[in-house]
Amino acid sequence: MQDSLFIPVLAGTTREQRKSFWAAQLVAEVGSTIEGVETYLVDPKVFYFPGDGNDPEGKDARYSELTSKADGFFIVTPEYNHSFPGTLKRMLDSELENYNHKPVAFAGASSGNWGGVRAIESLVITVREMGLVATYTDMHFPRVQDLFDSEGNLLDEKYRERCIKPWQELVWMARALKKAKNSDTQNN
């Protein structure tokens, strides 16, 4: 029996009419069906990241606790001007050591046809500096406004299936890194 993994899904925006949140809900839903995986959808509307940086007064203690116990992360980002939102950057920036040597998978969402590919590409540079280990099987939600109904229900089931492969790679990487950490307590 393998150790269970805790892998939060990070949603990237607080925008009022946000559609990428539906994609994040779907990604979390798929994650929760994987045996041995516990997940949690981090909604930046509910968490509190008041400013920039990682000073104690700018942190949300719930996010600190969650990132500390996480074995990996799945980030779902919308594409804003060929990058990812400032909200997501503030959320990520609020911690540092808690990310070290943990894997991260990506899903991108956009109103255009590219499904957030440029947002993911720009995120990769950032997460590497944080000590996170990027997986390479990305998930894309192009024309995200057409993929869900007005209540966030998925209209095309193949997008649920497409979430599985990135999750599998993320889980594999999380297990591998956790095992390495457990056997090498000096270099974590």
Ligand X SMILES: Cc1cc2nc3c(=O)[nH]c(=O)nc-3n(C[C@H](O)[C@H](O)[C@H](O)COP(=O)(O)O)c2cc1C
Positions in the binding site for ligand X (CB under 6 A): 13, 15, 18-20, 78-82, 109-112, 144-145
Cβ atoms of 12 and 87 closer than 8 Å: yes
CB of 114 to ligand X, least distance (A): 6
- For residues 171 and 177, the answer to whether their CB atoms sit within 8 Å is no
For ligand X, which is the closer residue by CB, 69 or 82? 82
For residue 81, give both structure tokens: 């001007």
> Whole-angstrom Cα distance, residue 38 to residue 70?
10
Question: Which of residues 74 and 80 has its CB atom nearest to ligand X in the complex?
Answer: 80
Q: Please, what is the minimum distance in Å from the beta carbon of residue 107 to ligand X?
A: 11
Task: Give least dist CB 142 to ligand X, A.
Answer: 8
Shortest Å, Cβ 168 to ligand X: 25
Helices (H), ranges, 94-157? 117-129
Q: Report the residue number, 20 or 99, with the smaller CB distance to ligand X.
A: 20
Q: Are 41 and 25 in contact (CB under 8 A)?
A: yes
Cβ 43 to ligand X shortest distance, Å = 12
| Spatial distance between the Cα atoms of 47 and 45, rounded to a whole number of angstroms | 6
Between 63 and 141, CB nearer to ligand X: 141
Q: Is 2 helix (H, G, I), strand (E, B) or coil?
A: coil
Max Cα-Cα span within the chain: 50
d(CA 38, CA 57): 29
Is the CB of 1 or the CB of 125 nearer to ligand X? 125
* Beta-carbon-side half-sphere exposure of residue 36 (alpha carbons within 13 Å): 13
